[in-house]
A = this chain, B = another copy of it.
Amino acid sequence: MARVVVNVMPKAEILDPQGQAVQRALGRIGVDGVADVRQGKRFELEVDDSVTDADVERMAEILLANTVIEDYVIVREEAK
């Protein structure tokens, strides 16, 4: 088995209201110096050797990311 991580983030030009809400809240806990906050999704998949990079790409395109407003990055981690 291997672990594949798919990170899905809003495209840079897309407004990120969740990230902005977090950034506004930072002031309330007295943390300065944070110029930007962006919030996205992280998927951790446990896959066997039959699952190819093309399979993961297809999963990301169809299920995990809305490619109109989101970008995704696939990271294949160590095989256990």
Partner-B contacts on A (CB < 8 A) = 1, 7-9, 19, 22, 25-26, 29, 31-51, 55, 58-59, 62-64
Contacts and interface: CB of A to CB of B under 8 A. Distances in A.
Nearest to A8: B42
Contacts of A63: 22, 25-26, 29
The 9 closest A-B pairs by CB, nearest first: A36-B46, A33-B50, A42-B42, A33-B51, A35-B46, A33-B48, A38-B44, A40-B42, A31-B55
A27 to B, nearest CB: 11
Contacts of A38: 43-44
Contacts of A64: 22
12 contacts: A8-B42, A29-B62, A29-B63, A32-B51, A34-B45, A35-B46, A36-B46, A37-B46, A39-B42, A39-B43, A40-B42, A41-B42
